[in-house]
Amino acid sequence: MDLSHADHTSAPEPSTSGRRVLPGSVLLCAGPLSSADLVAVARHDARVDLDDDALAGVDASRRIVEALASDPEPHYGVSTGFGALATTFIEPDRRAQLQASLVRSHAAGSGTPVEREVVRALMALRLSTLLTGRTGVRVETVRAYAGLLNAGITPVVREYGSLGCSGDLAPLAHCALALMGEGEVDDRDGVRLPAAEALAAAGLSPIRLAEKEGLALINGTDGMLGMLALALHDLRLLLTTADIAAGMSVEGLLGTDAVFAADLQALRPQLGQSDSAANLRTILAGSPVVASHRGPECTRVQDAYSLRCAPQVHGAARDTVAHAALVADRELASAVDNPVLTLDGRVESNGNFHGAPVAYVLDFLAIVVADVASMSERRTDRFLDRSRNNGLPPFLAHEVGVDSGLMIAQYTAAGIVSELKRLAHPASVDSIPSSAMQEDHVSMGWAAARKLRRAIDGLGRVLAIELMTASRGLQLRGPLEPAAGTGAVQRLVHSRIDGAGPDRFLSPEIEVVTELVQSGQVVTAAESAVGTLR
């Protein structure tokens, strides 16, 4: 899905080297790749340009590796085997074969190919690490890797194969295999063909890997990190959408906005809660529906938790996203490889490839997604129950008894929420030994990232069903008018699907509103009426 609200790439932005890049391009240098630039490359096909200073650093580090290659003492990844075979010395005339064999054997993924944007994200991150000068690859290999991205060539990376330690080996190996002119790829038009044919069509030549290069191309957390960066981009949009949906439900269910007052929220100074409550105040400002029952004749003392506590739940989700973003930014600034070239020229084995930091926050976010969706579904359900919806028809049906209204749309939301609860079970608590017990504890970060992507899609659908329901509920409150912000969203929804009326085929309407959510059009509509939301 293409959630493009939060980050835009149309205007030039400064790179980490202090240069400015042209619209539609991203300058990769020795410094961290920003998450916004990563999304631009992965999702919007921004071109990658390589910083000259970074390439000079790559060349300098390569000379260190070449010196070690002629050393009679064994050096891991340069003149030895890998993993459990790390003590096996490899003669110089066999080392090119060693690197190629490493890539071929590790490109052992299975299952359905993963999404194009995921592959491009992990490739951009691996390229960023190569440019740190800490991996020991050749400049020509770096240029060739960038050439794959810029040609729109996407290696076929399959669903299963990564344990998240040593990083995402199998997914990265499929990409390295394409660099060698082997394996399958999709071209810019999505046509699947042999890598050698795609390279030739793009005017690119396969790379024959030298010492250390095969290892440098496959040893990193790039797959799970790329999916984390994309997830954070998407969740920021969806959490703002959740505030909008909650505001529409508060309004449509004749709830109160008094509980969102700034002084009440300040009694619990959680940052995300404050932002969410501010959004709710903004989206409900000036609502004639809310004003209609604000007087002393209103006998309801408190709204249900799914209405009253929306800032607390949505805010806690925002704080979790902020923590995950901090971890992601640190990982984006990392040079993950094993062995790695240190700043003083040593080649050292290390454990930085272990995916635990990324895996944990991916799992945290899956919990967040499940809970935000669960609260949204509860608000949807309140609209449909005549004992709790304050005067609306059962299931918001047109002709009660003949029509079922939105009854089964709520079933769909409930089914998704149940699935999200299963997806919230952490992958990172699992581990399975591999490589003859050399790799005896693994992160499962790739699996955590894969289930989070599915969960985020589900959250968008649950919010879409709430927005459909709230829009119909607000329509049935007529002639009372909604607030400016909620009204703008209601008009958007009802410009694409019908409002209240006899039963009709609902599945296409759910898909239409889901697209409005996932594309950011819901947030854009609200902001067009009330200004920028948090």
Query: Which residues carry out catalysis?
Result: 76
User: Angle, to 10 degrees, between the axis of helix 222-252 and the axis of helix 271-284?
Assistant: 40
Three-state secondary structure readout of 116-138: HHHHHHHHHHHHHHHCCCCCCCC
Q: Which two tokens stand for residue 442?
A: 């693994």
The helix (run of H) or strand (run of E) holding residue 291 is helix 288-291
Cα gap 269→265, rounded to integer Å: 7
Residue 446's CB is within 10 A of a number of other CB atoms, namely 32
CA-closest candidate to residue 306, choices 294, 314, 298: 314
β-strand partners of 184: 194
Coil, strand or helix: which one is 110?
A: strand
Cα gap 446→428, rounded to integer Å: 9
CB 178 within 8 A of CB 185: yes
CB 46 within 8 A of CB 25: yes
CA-closest candidate to residue 154, choices 191, 205, 203: 191
Cα gap 202→177, rounded to integer Å: 17
